[in-house]
Amino acid sequence: MHKVAKYSKRGFTLLEMVMVIAIIVILAAVLAINSGEIYRRAANKSASVTDSVQDVQTGISASENKLANSYHF
């Protein structure tokens, strides 16, 4: 017959905790290394979108002016 242990295994071992911490540190390092590139690309995309929005606004204004000048009441 099997003996019942006095205590049951609870929690994590030290090795498991060290492995989890090591993985988190590696992921944080990769993110820190790439963060400059990520911010640079985001700024470029933001400037591009801003230019596109301004182009659309200019086109809408031009269309409104054409329509306003074509109808005389």
Q: Is the residue at 56 inside a domain?
A: yes
Q: CA 64, 68, 71 angle in degrees (round to 5)?
A: 140
pLDDT of 5: 60
Q: Is the residue at 49 inside a domain?
A: yes
Question: Which band of pLDDT confidence, cut at 50, 70 and 90, is reported for residue 2?
Answer: low
Number of domains in the chain: 1
Owning domain of residue 53: 35-60
Q: Kindly report, residue by residue over 6-51, the tens digit of the pLDDT.
A: 666 778 899 999 999 999 999 999 988 888 888 888 888 888 888 8
Q: Is the residue at 40 inside a domain?
A: yes
Does residue 53 sit in helix, strand or coil? helix
Q: Is the residue at 48 inside a domain?
A: yes
Q: Is the residue at 20 inside a domain?
A: no
Average pLDDT of the segment spanning 44-66: 85
23-59: b or e for each residue (b if 16 or more CB lie within 10 Å)?
eeeeeeeeeeeeeeeeeeeeeeeeeeeeeeeeeeeee
Residue 3 has pLDDT above 70, yes or no: no
pLDDT of 55: 85
